[in-house]
Chain A
Amino acid sequence: MKPRHLVRSLLLLSMLLGALLLAGCQRGDELPWKLTNVTGHMPDLDFKLVDDHGKPVTGADYRGKVVLLYFGYTHCPDVCPLTLAQLHVVMQRLGPLADGARILFVSVDPARDTPDVMHAYVNAFDPRAVGLSGEPRALEALSKRYRSAYTREPDKADGQYEVSHSSAIYLFDRDGKARLLSTAADAQDDLVHDLHLLLDNGAKP
């Protein structure tokens, strides 16, 4: 290959790479996420559960909203309230943008968490939180779908019991695509930052 050809080839290659990078940015793949990016590695938001008004709902009912999915249960006195209180602060920090987001709090304790209990519970934290409960089988399906886990611990003498459960928060975009994973180790600023990206991005036509 003559030197002139080599230069031309290199130029062409760099132009091609530049075009690819630009295309990547436009598709949103190169957004500067701070949380764990799970785009393409987890299935779209889908479930068949009952909301805290007793209405049957599916994942499709939340298309158009950025969703924060979190598993827990109402008899959990410490970690679940702390996480929901933190999510409430996150929503407040988003200001009016927060109306484009929903916190879906899924109960891993179907025996005790009825829609009524869930309604009182989620509303004690944030008006944009929805309490989802349902049949054990439907709950299991959702948990498996996102490789989440929960275990009912042995009953105590008075019939009370705890439920151990995954503490991660799953973030979905407005199209119901799984995008990010947030854990207790992540800073609140990072969650606010990435929610801004998800909400701003989704607002574009």
Chain B
Amino acid sequence: MKLRCAVLIAGCLFAGMAMAGDADQVAASRGWIRVMPGALPAGGYVVLENHGEHAVSLSSASSPAYAEVMLHKSSTDTGMGRMEDVSALPIPAHGKAALSPGGYHLMLMKAKAPVKVGDKVRVTLRFADGSTLDTQFEAKPANTIDGGDMAGMDHH
């Protein structure tokens, strides 16, 4: 009986350790979604701060509100607006990485129900080691320039 308890406790501890990971050293803030009319794909943006001693890497995201969420990067380098799939966004140790308009962003597709301005949408960020971070993104109007600034002001 004692042994079984010990195994159970050890198991719990192990499970706790398995869940801990890169996500624990990352703080997400100013998350927002640009709400588009109809069923058009929306852009998602957030600021990620890595408080840890080692670099981490965002690898994907998901949301219960959208059937599909992709990590993308826009560029207009050559005068051509392009978009490419990205498999990882590195966040340096004690550093910051921003998903912001015109650069890295989430592409949120196929909303399960219409997302309205003002809604809080849950977005789960997944890191390269498999750990996850639950965040809330605020739905903002299509013609928002950088909703992050305002969301940031709300929190501070």
Which residues of chain A are within 8 angstroms of B42 by Cβ–Cβ distance?
Answer: 77
Partner of B40, one of A75, A89, A125, A126: A75
B22 to chain A, nearest CB (A): 25
B47 to chain A, nearest CB (A): 16
Q: A82: CB under 8 A from chain B?
A: yes
A78 to chain B, nearest CB (A): 5
Q: Is B143 a contact of A121 with CB atoms below 8 Å?
A: no
Measured CA separation A184–B75 after assembly (Å): 10
Measured CA separation A165–B145 after assembly (Å): 21
Q: B151: CB under 8 A from chain A?
A: no
A35 to chain B, nearest CB (A): 14
Q: Is A164 a contact of B79 with CB atoms below 8 Å?
A: no
Q: Is B41 a contact of A75 with CB atoms below 8 Å?
A: yes
Measured CA separation A149–B41 after assembly (Å): 23
Q: Of residues B41, B72, B76, which shows the largest number of chain A Cβ atoms within 10 Å of its Cβ?
A: B76
B: interface residue count bin? 20 to 34
Q: Is B40 a contact of A79 with CB atoms below 8 Å?
A: no
Measured CA separation A160–B109 after assembly (Å): 10
Q: Is B80 a contact of A120 with CB atoms below 8 Å?
A: no
Give residues 11-67 of B contacting A (CB, 8 Å). Answer: 34, 36-38, 40-43
Partner of A120, one of B37, B79, B82: B37
Measured CA separation A126–B105 after assembly (Å): 23
Measured CA separation A162–B108 after assembly (Å): 14
Which residues of chain A are within 8 angstroms of B43 by Cβ–Cβ distance?
Answer: 77-78, 81
Which residues of chain A are within 8 angstroms of B76 by Cβ–Cβ distance?
Answer: 79, 167, 183-184
Q: B87: CB under 8 A from chain A?
A: no
Partner of B102, one of A72, A79, A121, A158: A79
Q: Is A88 a contact of B83 with CB atoms below 8 Å?
A: no
Q: B142: CB under 8 A from chain A?
A: yes
Q: Is B81 a contact of A165 with CB atoms below 8 Å?
A: yes
Q: A23: CB under 8 A from chain B?
A: no
Measured CA separation A121–B39 after assembly (Å): 11
Measured CA separation A81–B82 after assembly (Å): 13
Measured CA separation A120–B41 after assembly (Å): 14
Q: B135: CB under 8 A from chain A?
A: no
Which residues of chain A are within 8 angstroms of B143 by Cβ–Cβ distance?
Answer: 81, 84-85, 88, 124-126
Which residues of chain B are within 8 angstroms of A76 by Cβ–Cβ distance?
Answer: 81, 83
Give residues 110-164 of A contacting B (CB, 8 Å). Answer: 117, 120-121, 123-126, 149, 158, 160, 162, 164
Give residues 149-204 of A contacting B (CB, 8 Å). Answer: 149, 158, 160, 162, 164-168, 183-184
Q: B107: CB under 8 A from chain A?
A: yes
Which residues of chain B are within 8 angstroms of A160 by Cβ–Cβ distance?
Answer: 109
Pick 21 A–B contacts, CB within 8 A, sort by A.
A74-B36, A74-B40, A77-B36, A77-B41, A77-B43, A77-B72, A77-B105, A78-B101, A78-B102, A79-B101, A81-B143, A85-B101, A88-B143, A117-B38, A124-B36, A124-B37, A149-B80, A164-B82, A166-B80, A166-B81, A167-B80
Q: Apart from A77-B108, A78-B74, A125-B142, what are 9 other A-B pairs with CB-CB below 8 Å?
A: A77-B36, A77-B40, A77-B42, A78-B83, A78-B107, A79-B101, A79-B102, A81-B142, A81-B143
